[in-house]
Amino acid sequence: MDRLPRGRHGLSPEFVARNQRERLISGLILTLADVGYQKTTVSMIGQRAAVSKSDFYKHFDSKDDCFFAAYDFAVDRIRATVVEACVPNSTTDWPLRVRAGTTALLTLLASDPPLATIVLAEGLRAGRGIYDRYQAAVESFVPLLREGAPDPPGAVPVPPATDEAVVGGIAALLTRRVVDGEAADLAGLIPDVLEFALAPHLGTEGARRIISAG
């Protein structure tokens, strides 16, 4: 997020306020990645964002308030990236949508470790309010996985609980890797995560055919 020019710039107060808020959110995300939630302070966030402490409190009541806003921003960015990746395949086969969404998700997280850190690591250390947001974020991906999903060949339909377990399992796997400092390597998990997501509906062999064709 770019800083505003010094001195008279002719920008509206609304634009300045929005820019400051966005920089503070970015500053918190980057600071968390460096020192973690407990060591992050309002002063550190402001220094990173080039926003004074007094201006920080014009936008947020506390570090936690800023954290909540940053967490919601990060989740919204991830969800928008996944949904956008699925759009070109929205009228085609379900496996192609899942492959596109999975690839977009892991590529984004690997390319932006601070984003992965706030959602999958530091978020779980920030108290109950964020944990509830984490759970809601994970659950919001279940309908994306189930929409248009086929029944497995020669078997009963896949119950919603199975897809809930799949999405929760993927989130847990990614969380462990991010906590271990391996966020930049998440793209390497695309084949494994994709097989895990596809197999309940296509069977293992069907899932592997989709992966190998990609």
Tell me the domain boundaries of the chain: 1-60, 63-213
Q: Which residues contact 189 (CB under 8 A, 6 or more apart)?
A: 106, 173, 174, 177
Nearest to 28 by CA among 74, 77, 87, 97: 74
**pLDDT reported for residue 192:** 97
**Rounded CA Rg of the chain:** 20
Tell me the pLDDT tens digit for each residue of 119-134.
Answer: 998 877 766 778 888 8
What's the pLDDT tens digit per position in 27-47? 999 999 999 998 999 999 999
CA-based nearest residue to 100, from 84, 76, 116: 84
- DSSP-assigned letter for residue 128: H
Weakly modelled stretches of the chain, pLDDT under 70:
1-11, 88-92, 126-127, 214
The CATH number of the domain covering residues in 63-213: 1.10.357
Side-chain-side CA neighbours of residue 20 (13 Å): 19
Contact 4/11 with Cβ under 8 angstroms?
yes
The encoded tokens of residue 202 equal 């296509």
Please enumerate in sequence order all residues whose Cβ is within 8 A of that of 174, keeping only pairs 6 or more positions apart, or say none.
106, 109, 116, 120, 186, 189
Residue 46's pLDDT is 96
**pTM assigned to the model:** 0.88
User: What's the topology of domain 1-60?
Assistant: Arc Repressor Mutant, subunit A (1.10.10)
